């Protein structure tokens, strides 16, 4: 980055502002369901108003708006960079928290509350850098877009999917930076600051299985018991021996960890297979996984049920053809009377590693943390990046912080928090990244 042309920025003052904003943002109740993300849009909008930045809102209902603000570049650098963040958060069980999940408490160098890491914290990092561009009139060779979307935590019907459907022109861009890759102070149990760049996600493929049969008196068993047929089908699925599939991105992740001395053995398929045996997450990364998540049948002890249902949370290897998986599943179930309902699915190709933005992110992270590793990562979960990747747009998960033991793994859990230091690092690395790709 051409730092000479950049203005002096008071990072201390900025971090104080960011800390206050994140605390305030956490207090804006956008628990989804029901969402009410318009509250977040109003809150973000009031800050943009103060900064004299115009924005538009879009939404299917007045309670669930999305916000898009754009700073125009001269276009010489190509299409826009979108800073994507979702404004909703998942519900919480207050009794299991040691702090008020909605208070945005600041204590012990940490900002506490639902959304601190997923992902209001990153929303603030994006917002700050976006605002800096306006405040300092930083030159832009491409448009810079701040996009705050609703409903990510419940399938994005009112958020990214809504925009893709009703306002596809808003998604037109070259790059997206989103959640889905974050740093930690250790990797695979070895202490080493490691930034993950999310390049790929498994594809959700959510299914309901349904069987029906003749109901009757429990004293007279029939061969047509809906529950029994469902259980038999589930038994065949549970014992279905599926091959491990190692994608190039997963292999690259382990190769880079090997090159850095984190993993001693040269990664091979058999080495990854043995890791899969020890770590459920590493197993999931290498297979079309199936979790049985709900099971329902029957109304009374002595009544044979007329219907039984089960839901399966399947996650396909990135870019795996859902129709192919469906055919395999039907063959395994081997019972045509079992109805399979496709509830939700997404299959997207990975984003490439050989882009300018990937290089810029890597350089920005390393310039802040000298001995940092920056590795490509594949997520077992999914984010709104899918909406862009399926259009062939390069989208990366990049929350450039180094989560410590207090912060890691708290997303969707209890006592979610983000350190003030991480907020500061996130803002600076993200800003340097944006300058690198936009100036």
Residues of the shown chain interacting with Zn ion in the complex, contacts defined by CB under 5 A: 118-119, 179
Instruction: State the Cα torsion 39-87-153-353 to the nearest 10°.
Output: 170
Compare residues 179 and 407 and give the one whose CB is closer to Zn ion: 179
Compare residues 132 and 148 and give the one whose CB is closer to Zn ion: 148
Least CB distance to Zn ion at residue 224 (A):
45
Residue nearest to Zn ion (CB): 118
- Look at residues 274, 286, 202 and name the one whose alpha carbon lies nearest to residue 244: 286
Compare residues 179 and 416 and give the one whose CB is closer to Zn ion: 179
Least CB distance to Zn ion at residue 294 (A):
23
Least CB distance to Zn ion at residue 210 (A):
31
Least CB distance to Zn ion at residue 152 (A):
6
Q: How buried is 165 (Cβ within 10 angstroms: 0-12 exposed, 13-18 middle, 19+ buried)? A: exposed
Rounded Cα distance between 229 and 383, Å, is 35
Rounded Cα distance between 234 and 312, Å, is 10
Least CB distance to Zn ion at residue 121 (A):
10
Q: What is the number of other CB atoms lying within 10 angstroms of the CB of residue 416?
A: 28
Compare residues 67 and 304 and give the one whose CB is closer to Zn ion: 67
DSSP 69-97: EEE---STT-S-EEEEEE--B----GGG-
Least CB distance to Zn ion at residue 123 (A):
10
Least CB distance to Zn ion at residue 397 (A):
10
Least CB distance to Zn ion at residue 118 (A):
4
Q: SS3 for 402-430, per residue?
A: EECCCCCCCCCCCCCEEEHHHHHHHHHHH
Least CB distance to Zn ion at residue 90 (A):
8
CA atoms within 13 A on the CB side of 73: 23
Compare residues 119 and 434 and give the one whose CB is closer to Zn ion: 119
Decide if 46 contacts 67 (C-beta within 8 A). no
Least CB distance to Zn ion at residue 119 (A):
4
Compare residues 111 and 262 and give the one whose CB is closer to Zn ion: 111
Compare residues 82 and 119 and give the one whose CB is closer to Zn ion: 119
312 to each of 222, 234, 350, 413, 423, how far by Cα in Å?
27, 10, 24, 22, 37
Compare residues 118 and 143 and give the one whose CB is closer to Zn ion: 118
DSSP assignment letter at 350: P
Compare residues 83 and 275 and give the one whose CB is closer to Zn ion: 83
Rounded Cα distance between 273 and 270, Å, is 5
* Radius of gyration from C-alpha coordinates of the chain: 24
Strand partners, 217: 303
Decide if 357 contacts 175 (C-beta within 8 A). yes
Compare residues 19 and 156 and give the one whose CB is closer to Zn ion: 156
Compare residues 19 and 379 and give the one whose CB is closer to Zn ion: 379
Q: What are the helix (H) ranges across 32-179?
A: 38-50, 120-135, 160-166
Cβ neighbours of residue 324 closer than 8 Å, sequence gap 6 or more: none
Rounded Cα distance between 377 and 252, Å, is 9
Decide if 295 contacts 211 (C-beta within 8 A). no
Least CB distance to Zn ion at residue 151 (A):
11
Rounded Cα distance between 89 and 29, Å, is 8
Compare residues 118 and 151 and give the one whose CB is closer to Zn ion: 118
Least CB distance to Zn ion at residue 178 (A):
9
Please state the separation of Cα 191 from the chain's center in Å. 24
């Amino acid at each position: 980055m051409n730092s000479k042309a950049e203005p002096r920025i008071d990072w201390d003052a900025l971090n104080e502002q960011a800390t206050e904003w994140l605390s305030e943002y956490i207090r804006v109740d956008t628990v989804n369901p029901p969402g009410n993300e318009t509250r977040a849009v109003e809150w973000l909008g009031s800050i943009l108003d103060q900064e004299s930045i115009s924005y538009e809102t879009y939404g299917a209902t007045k309670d669930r708006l999305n916000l898009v603000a754009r700073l125009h570049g001269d276009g010489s650098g190509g299409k826009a960079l979108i800073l994507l963040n979702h404004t909703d958060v998942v519900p919480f069980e207050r009794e299991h928290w040691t702090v008020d999940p909605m208070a945005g408490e600041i204590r012990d160098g940490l900002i506490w509350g639902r959304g601190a890491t997923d992902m209001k914290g990153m929303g603030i990092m994006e917002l700050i850098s976006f605002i800096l561009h306006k405040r300092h009139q930083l030159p832009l060779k491409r448009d810079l877009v701040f996009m705050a979307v609703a409903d990510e935590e419940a399938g994005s019907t009112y958020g990214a999917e809504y925009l893709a459907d009703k306002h596809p022109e808003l998604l037109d861009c070259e790059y997206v930076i989103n959640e889905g890759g974050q740093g930690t102070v250790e990797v695979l149990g070895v202490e080493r600051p490691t930034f993950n760049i999310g390049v790929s996600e498994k594809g959700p493929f959510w299914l309901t299985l349904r069987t029906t049969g003749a109901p009757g008196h429990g004293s007279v068993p029939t061969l047509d018991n809906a529950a029994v047929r469902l259980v038999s089908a589930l038994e065949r699925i549970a014992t279905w021996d599926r091959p491990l599939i190692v994608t190039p991105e997963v292999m690259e992740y382990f190769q880079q960890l090997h090159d850095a001395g984190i993993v001693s053995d040269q990664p091979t398929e058999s080495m990854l297979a043995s890791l899969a045996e020890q770590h459920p997450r590493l197993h999931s990364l290498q297979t079309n996984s199936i979790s049985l998540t709900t099971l329902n049948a029957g109304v009374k002890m002595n009544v044979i049920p007329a219907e039984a249902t089960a839901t399966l949370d399947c996650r396909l290897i990135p870019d795996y053809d859902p129709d192919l998986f469906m055919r395999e599943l039907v063959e395994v179930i081997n019972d045509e009377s079992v109805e399979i309902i496709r509830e939700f699915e997404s299959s997207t190709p990975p984003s490439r590693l050989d882009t300018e933005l990937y290089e810029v992110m890597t350089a920005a992270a390393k310039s802040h943390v000298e001995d940092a590793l920056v590795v490509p990562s594949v997520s077992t979960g999914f984010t709104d990046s899918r909406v862009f990747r399926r259009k062939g747009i390069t989208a990366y998960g990049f929350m450039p912080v180094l989560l410590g033991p207090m912060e890691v793994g708290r997303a969707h859990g209890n006592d979610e928090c983000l350190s003030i230091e991480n907020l500061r690092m996130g803002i600076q690395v993200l800003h340097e990244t944006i300058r690198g790709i936009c100036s």
